[in-house]
Amino acid sequence: MKKLGIIAFALFMQTTFAQVNRFVYQVTMKSDASNKSDVKTENAYLDIAQEKSMFYSENRIKRDSVMQATFQSGGARGFNREQMEGLRSNINYSIEKDKKNQKTTFKDRIGRDVYTYEEDRPITWKITSETTKIGDYKVQKAETDFGGRKWTAWFTTDLPYQDGPYKFNGLPGLIVKAEDDKGEYSFDLMKNYKIADFPTMNQFGNTIKVKRGDYLKQQKKYQEDPMSFMTQGGGGGIRIGAVGGNRGGGNQNPADMRKRMEERVKDEAKKNSNPIELQ
């Protein structure tokens, strides 16, 4: 009986650690530099397991699910454009933290490809003695300069995780709230629950591994000439595989396509003229 009890406990512990803990953050953004009264809010997930964590938009995973179901049931013609528009996200990136190797990897789509880089700037925190309570958690204040912004974070040791939303980590607890000193970006923990495993992200196009500086150059190049990324691809980098091809359909005038593409990219650039990282 004792041996059976030990086996049962071991299985219980294995199951517990195999689970992924999902923390739901409300992300508030003032991403249009010309219109700070335009406040965008949406939810993002921080999924944490023993070996890694992932941070990404809630709408991203919902869109992936809708796209997958649509392709399986008859292809792109079955898309509900209104439903897809309702799931548009201002958080187009995803971030993965490798716990064992202490690496943070950033991924973002530029044109038809996904660009990925390893974050090369460590986050150095100044932990203060100030404490308060946010929701059910006792939290402590910490401050840092990162990406051209001054950030204040409130972390808790009530939960057994040393992680946080976006690229933030390195504190002795889980970040419950983080905001910059201009009040332009904030992350607020809303709730948490367990899920069976990390979701599978739909991947279209190539994954191109670059340095952070090269990613920024490619992003700027895309804003100036988006069609070059749709025809010949962006710039150099290490391609880690390719999926699919041209998923468009119908006979479309190339000149009209170029004009629509450039207008859309310029509009998106204007709406994101106050990015979360200023440098």
pLDDT in tens, 123-175: 999 999 999 999 999 999 999 999 999 999 999 999 999 999 999 999 999 99
More confident residue, 236 or 222: 222
Strands 205-209 and 113-118: parallel
pLDDT at 245 over 80: no
pLDDT at 264: 77
pLDDT at 8 over 90: no
pLDDT at 84 over 60: no
pLDDT at 70 over 70: no
Over residues 66-72, mean pLDDT: 62
* Residue 6: band (very low, low, confident or very high) from pLDDT cuts 50, 70, 90: very low
pLDDT at 275 over 70: yes
pLDDT at 246 over 50: no
Please tell me the distance from the alpha carbon of residue 189 to that of residue 191, in angstroms, as a whole number.
Answer: 6
Over residues 204-221, mean pLDDT: 92
Q: What is the model's pTM?
A: 0.82
pLDDT at 202 over 80: no
pLDDT at 69: 61
* Residue 229: band (very low, low, confident or very high) from pLDDT cuts 50, 70, 90: confident
pLDDT at 13: 44
Answer yes or no: are the C-beta atoms of 216 and 234 closer than 8 Å: no
pLDDT at 226: 78
pLDDT at 222: 85
pLDDT at 66 over 80: no
* Residue 189: band (very low, low, confident or very high) from pLDDT cuts 50, 70, 90: very high
Residue 208, both tokens? 């191109």
| Bridge partners of residue 47, in order along the sequence | 22, 54
pLDDT at 11: 40
C-alpha radius of gyration, the chain, whole number: 21
What is the chain's mean pLDDT, rounded?
83
Candidate from 50-64, 70-84, 156-170, 259-273 with smallest mean pLDDT: 70-84
pLDDT at 92 over 70: yes
